[in-house]
Amino acid sequence: MNKMRRELAVLQGDDAGSFVTMADTLDAIIENTETASNAILESMEDIEEMLGELRKSNDPAVIAVCNRITERGNQVFEACSFQDLTGQRITRVVNSLKFIEERVSSMVRMWGKEELAKVVEEVKREAQPTEAADDERELLHGPQREGVAHTQDEIDKLFSQDDIDKLFG
């Protein structure tokens, strides 16, 4: 029972691996792949329109090349179906994570948040990471969703042109 309590405390106290964060990250993957797929499909439709213009030349060599491009374009359209399948699979994973989160939350309520918070502090004291590891962990949060991530202007303000030149000079 004590081991189970420790494990629950660790799950509850681990902000980087929380179920909400995982579900959010997977939702962001779905959004990003959908956006990318739509951009690809729109570009392919534009290319197909341009090919229609080229075909009007009635030059057999041009028409043959246009037909080959259309065949390759159709392969791109087919390949973009990955987004729908990926989205469905990730949605199932998100639903499973939410189910697990509900079960863990129920168990946390049984143990009591205050009691588990004490255990979390105990576990953290036992596993004190080095200061360098903490600094590195801060940098490793990966790509962020729009509105959460720093803008390019904010990043540019951190560096002067002299700083950048020193890196490459």
Closest-CA residue to 23 (of 82, 95, 89, 88): 95
Confidence of residue 129 (pLDDT cuts 50, 70, 90): low
- pLDDT for 133 beyond 90: no
- Quick one: pLDDT at residue 2? 73
Token representation of residue 15: 């902000």
Provide DSSP, 34-96: HHHHHHHHHHHHHHHHHHHHHHTT--HHHHHHHHHHHHHHHHHHHHTTHHHHHHHHHHHHHHH
More confident residue, 137 or 17: 137
pTM of full prediction above 0.75: no
**Helix axis angle, 60-79 to 19-55, nearest 10°:** 170
